Each structure stands twice: as C-alpha cells, then as structure tokens.
Amino acid sequence: MEIKKAPQADLERGKLLSLLMGLVVAISVVFVALEWRSPMDNGPIVANSLTIADLDNVPIIEDEQPEPEPEPEIQKVVEVQLPEVLTVVEDEKKIETKFVSADEGKTLPPPVQVVADPEPEQEEEIFEAVEKPAEYPGGPEAMLKYLSKNTEYPAIAQENGIQGRVYIEFVVEKDGTPTQFRVLKGVDPALDKEALRVAKTMKKWIPGEQQGRKVRSKFRLPVLFRLNQQ
C-alpha cells in the first residue's frame, strides 16, 4: 500500500526551507559588509561599538567664556584755581592816592523838576430826566419858529413823497451848549441828515437843574417833515 503525502505538508516544508535559506543569505551579506568596511577605518574609534548607554555617559563640554576685561579707570581731573598772589612791595615813601571824578571841571546841569500830570477830570453824570428840564431860550414856540424857518425840505424826499418825524437826541451842557447830536429815530437818510444839520445850528439853551444846581441833561427833539396836500 502506497503512502500519499499531503500537499499541506509539502507547503509547510517549502516555507521552512525558504526561511532558512533567506536567513543564511542575510547573515552572509552582513558578514561581507563588515569585512569590506573594516580596512576603511583609519582611527582607533569604532563606530559600531557605541551604544545609547555610552552616549549618556559622555561629559558635556561647555565653552568657557573669557572673563571680561576690567573697564579702564577714568581719571577725573579736578581743576583747582589758585588764589591770586599779591606781591607787596614795601617802600618807605608814601604814595598819595587821589580820586578824580569824571565830572570834575564840568558844569552840571540844573536838576530837572518832574511835574506830575494833572489827574483827568471825571466826566460829570448826564441825567436822563431832571427836576427842571433844559429849555430853548424863549420856550417851545421860539424853538418851533426857529426850526420852521431854517429847515429845508430835501427835494429828493419831496419828489418821492417821503414825510415823517425825525427824532434828534443831544446833550445840554451845564453852560447851555448843545453837544453830542445823534439821530435817535430816523425816517429817510435825506430827512435825517437835514434834521441833524438844523439842530446843530441852534444857539445855547438854558441848562437843566437838579436839586438847585445846573447839570448836564439829555434832550430829544422831534423834527416834523410834512408835505402840503393839494
């Protein structure tokens, strides 16, 4: 009776044989490589003999820093001012010292007298209303007559039919002189200008009085411009 070999047993045997042959080839290659590199080494150091444990024991060599050179000492120079040496010359002769004034021989001008400027006079109060108002000489009728006689109606205002009442304000001084004229309320530039002009031509007034004394007071003068209706 013939014994038959199982195919699985042949397969396992073939794998084992292949593994052994591969191992032999690998060992041979390593041996050849070691033998080939050994002549190339020129120094006593064998690289293959170093292990991780040997690397841990290698001392670390730190670079030694050169000690800094000491800074040169800065020499401080202190200037000393020597006191002036006075040389005293002794002499038996007496030296007369004479001080000559720069103004000697010159005629001095007379002293200048400083005269203080007089203090400016304080402006007296101007009253808006007084016990006795200022008055044109002859009364209101005389003033109205004077204004009517000396006032000229501007032609341009007549041509344009302009009329109205212009108020002129001024100050009657303590001596009766009218000053500080201004248009308080105007109507037209031409009428305002004429009313201001005629007011300035008035003569002195009788000044106003407050508590029995003459004072400066304001006065408002109305000047009426009216056209005759035909």
Domains of the chain, each with CATH number or no CATH:
139-225 (3.30.2420.10)
Residue 133 burial (CB count, 10 A): 16
Copy the structure tokens of residue 174.
């303590």
The one-letter code for the residue type at 33 is A
Which residue in 164, 172, 95 sits closest to 129, CA to CA? 172
Res 198: pLDDT: 96
**H helical segments located in 40-170:** 52-56, 139-150, 155-159
Res 99: pLDDT: 42
CA torsion 62-67-68-73 (nearest 10°) is 170
Res 169: pLDDT: 97
Band of residue 18 on the pLDDT scale cut at 50, 70, 90: confident
Copy the structure tokens of residue 167.
């108020």
Distance CA 61, CA 52 (A): 18
Distance CA 229, CA 161 (A): 10
Among 142-146, 169-173, 179-183, 226-230, the least confident range: 226-230
Query: What share of residues in the chain are helix, strand, coil (percent, to 5)?
Result: 30, 15, 55
Distance CA 99, CA 130 (A): 75
User: Whole-model pTM?
Assistant: 0.48
The residue that leads in pLDDT, 130 or 113, is 130
